[in-house]
Amino acid sequence: MKTIQAGMLVDRPVTEVVLDEAIQRGQVRQKSGLQATSVRFVEPCLAVSFIDGSGVLLPVQHYPEFDDFDVEDFANLKVGFSGTALCHEGKDLHVSIAGMISASKPLMDMAASVIASRNGRQSSAAKAEAARANGRKGGRPRKTDVTD
CA angle 104, 87, 7 (to 5 degrees): 90
CATH number of 10-103: 3.30.2020.40
Greater model confidence, 48 or 122: 48
Greater model confidence, 11 or 93: 93
Predicted local distance difference test score (pLDDT) of residue 148: 58
Give the pLDDT band of residue 23 (cuts 50, 70, 90): confident
Length of the chain: 148
Predicted local distance difference test score (pLDDT) of residue 74: 93
- The model carries a pTM of 0.61
Question: Phi and psi (nearest 5°) for 11?
Answer: -70, 135
* Cis before 64? omega within 30: no
Q: Report how far residue 134's alpha carbon sits from residue 140's, in angstroms, rounded to the nearest whole number.
A: 5
Give the pLDDT band of residue 33 (cuts 50, 70, 90): low
Greater model confidence, 32 or 66: 66
Question: Phi and psi (nearest 5°) for 90?
Answer: -60, -35
58-91 pLDDT per residue, tens: 999 999 999 999 999 999 999 998 888 999 999 9
C-beta neighbour count of 66 within 10 angstroms: 23
Give the pLDDT band of residue 118 (cuts 50, 70, 90): confident
Please report, for the chain, the start and end positions of each structural domain, with discontinuous segments joined by +.
10-103, 104-135
**In the chain, pLDDT over 70 holds for what percent of residues?**
90
Gap between the terminal Cα atoms of the chain: 51
- Amino acid symbol at 64: P
